[in-house]
């Protein structure tokens, strides 16, 4: 019995360092396992946060693209407004006056005494020309005339309608009206050229 214990002790001297080394390796491996698991969780959290940030930035990019598209569209509409509807006075004034007279005839009202005051809107780079005149007609005819001015394609602005006289013979009303439109100033306007006077 003593000899077997001695033999075991002799073998233990050889196996003990190996067992201690195995135990240390297992302890180190388990420690690394926990460390790696923690690092993996940290990395996963970082990835999730970065993914959320990427999604936020993508949403911001899409919103900015929509704003840019809308801004381009608005710029095109403004350019079109200036080129097509707010051309120079030398090109559009006669057409505007003719349009107002044509609409008056369509509505059945009588017009008279046109004058053409102007105002330079320097902050907008536009020239505002008003047509001040009197019209006479029945209430339905005047309503029709006002409606025709408001739906005109020539960019007419109805600024004021004032009663200027009572009924003449029958249900007629006389009113003073101011209809304005805007022009892009041309060279003649900028140099202070001749302006239209009073017409009937």
173-193: pLDDT as tens digits = 889 999 998 887 765 444 444
Reported pTM:
0.53
Continuous H helices in the chain: 2-80, 89-107, 139-150, 187-190
Provide the token pair at 187: 């060279």
- Residue 181: exposure state from Cβ atoms within 10 A (0-12, 13-18, ≥19): buried
124-136 as b/e: b if 16+ CB within 10 A? eebbbbbbbbbbb
Would the pLDDT of 135 be above 60? yes
Model pLDDT for residues 36-49, shown as the tens digit of each residue: 777 777 777 788 88
Per-residue pLDDT tens over the stretch 143-165: 999 999 998 888 888 998 998 76
> Does residue 195 register a pLDDT over 50?
no
Rg (CA), the chain: 45
Averaged confidence pLDDT in the chain: 78
């Amino acid at each position: 019995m003593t000899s077997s214990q001695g033999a075991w002790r002799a073998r233990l001297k050889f196996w003990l360092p190996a067992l201690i080394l195995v135990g240390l390796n297992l302890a180190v491996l388990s420690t690394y396992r926990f460390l790696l698991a923690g690092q993996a969780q940290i990395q996963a959290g970082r990835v999730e946060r970065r993914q959320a940030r990427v999604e936020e930035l993508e949403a911001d990019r899409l919103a900015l693209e929509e704003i840019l598209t809308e801004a381009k569209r608005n710029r095109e509409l403004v350019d079109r407004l200036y080129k097509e509807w707010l051309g120079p006075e030398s090109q559009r004034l006669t057409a505007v006056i003719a349009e107002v007279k044509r609409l008056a005839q369509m509505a059945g009202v009588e017009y008279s005494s046109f004058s053409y005051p102007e105002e330079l809107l320097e902050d907008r780079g536009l020239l505002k020309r008003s047509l001040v005149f009197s019209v006479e007609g029945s209430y339905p005819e005047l309503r029709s005339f006002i409606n025709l001015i408001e739906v005109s394609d020539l960019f007419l602005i109805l600024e004021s309608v004032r009663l200027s006289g009572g009924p003449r013979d029958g249900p007629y009303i006389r009113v003073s009206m101011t209809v304005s439109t805007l022009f892009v100033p041309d060279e003649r306007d900028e140099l202070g050229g001749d302006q239209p006077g009073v017409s009937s």
